[in-house]
Amino acid sequence: MKKLINDISNVLTESLDGFVAAHGDIITLGAEHKFVQRKVLKPGKVALLSGGGSGHEPLHAGFVGHGMLDAACPGQVFTSPTPDQMIAAAEAVDTGAGVLFIVKNYEGDVMNFDMAREMAGRDIETVITDDDVAVENSLYTTGRRGVAGTLVVEKVVGAAAEQGADLKSLKALGDKVNRATRSMGVALTSCTVPAAGKPTFDISAIEMEMGVGIHGEPGRRRVALRTANEIAEEMVAAIAGDLNVKGNALLFVNGFGGTPSMELYLMYNAAAAQLAKHGITPVRSLVGSYVTSLDMAGCSITVTMLDDTITKGWDAPVHTPALRWGL
C-alpha cells in the first residue's frame, strides 16, 4: 500500500487539521475533531448538518459554508460518526431556528443521527437521501443507498435555508429534491482503506463492477469492461427508467477519486447523449470528484429533474471549500 500518511491511527485528525488550515476563512474545527463548522454563523437561520464516514471527500466537510451546510461530522474511514459528534455540532450551530439533519441512507448513519435527534433536546428534522438505483438493499442499508445525490440535496436546501426558509419547509424541500434525484455508479478498480492496507475487493483488469456503492460494496453484477458509451447507456437507462419522466435536468458526473477529469468529461458527453434518448435535457451540470471512495477508479451519474424551485436553489450563490459560484 502506497499512501501519503504518517500513522494510520492519525490519518483523519491530521487530514482535518490540514483541511481547516487551508480553508480557515470559511470553516473552523470543533473540539476533539468532532465536527467542522461554518466560521460565521447566520443568526435566525435553520442550521443544516450532515456527516458520514470519511473517505468520501470533499463530501461532507467540503460543503460547509455559505449556501450549504453549517456543520459536518466526519466519522472514521467508511464508519458513521457517533451521536455525541452530532449533538455537539448541533449545539454549536443552532442559532434558534432549529436544525435539519441530511443523512445518507446507511444503517449506521441513520441509527446514529436518529439517536442524536432524540438526545439533543432541540428542534430537529431529518432528510434521508436514497438516490442510488443500483440495488434495493445492500450490505450497509435497508432500502436504497444515499450517494452523490446527497450533494444536490445539500445545495438546494442550503440555498433555501440561506434565504430564510423555516425548518418544516426545508424538510419538505429536501424530500422533494431527493425524490427528483437518481444515481448509479461503476467501479473499474477497488479502493484501499488505509487501516486494511489492501484493496477492498478483487477485480481483474478486464472487469468492472456495475452499480457499485461508495464504500466499494457490490453492485448489480460483475461484468466485462465496456466502452464509455456502453457504460453510460446502461446507467442512464436505469436512472431514466426509475425517474420515468421527461424534461430539463441537472446532470452530475462524479468521480470516485481515481479517475481523471478527461474521462469524467468524456462520460458526461456520453451520458448527455443517452439522456436525450429518454427525453431528458441537461440544462445544468456538475463534473468532478465530489463524492469519492478514496482512490477508487470509476464514476457515478446523477440526474436531478428540475423545476423552478430546484433550479433556483442550484443556481443560488455558494461559497464552500469544494463548491463555489455566484459570490
Point out the catalytic residue in the list 23, 60, 66, 215.
Answer: 215
Task: Report the C-alpha gap between 147 and 161 in whole angstroms.
Answer: 22
CB atoms closer than 10 angstroms to residue 3: 12
Residue 215 appears among annotated catalytic residues: yes
Residue 56 appears among annotated catalytic residues: yes
Element (H, E) at 155: helix 149-162
User: Measuring CA to CA, how many Å separate 155 from each of 106, 159, 222, 231, 242?
Assistant: 20, 6, 33, 27, 23
Task: Report the C-alpha gap between 179 and 244 in whole angstroms.
Answer: 12
Point out the catalytic residue in the list 56, 60, 66, 278.
Answer: 56
Query: Using N-to-C axis directions, what is the helix angle for 261-277 and 228-243, rounded to 10°?
Result: 50
How far does Cα 14 stand from its chain's mean position? 22
- Residues in contact with 32: Cβ distance below 8 Å, sequence separation at least 6, in sequence order: none
Residues marked active site are found at: 56, 215
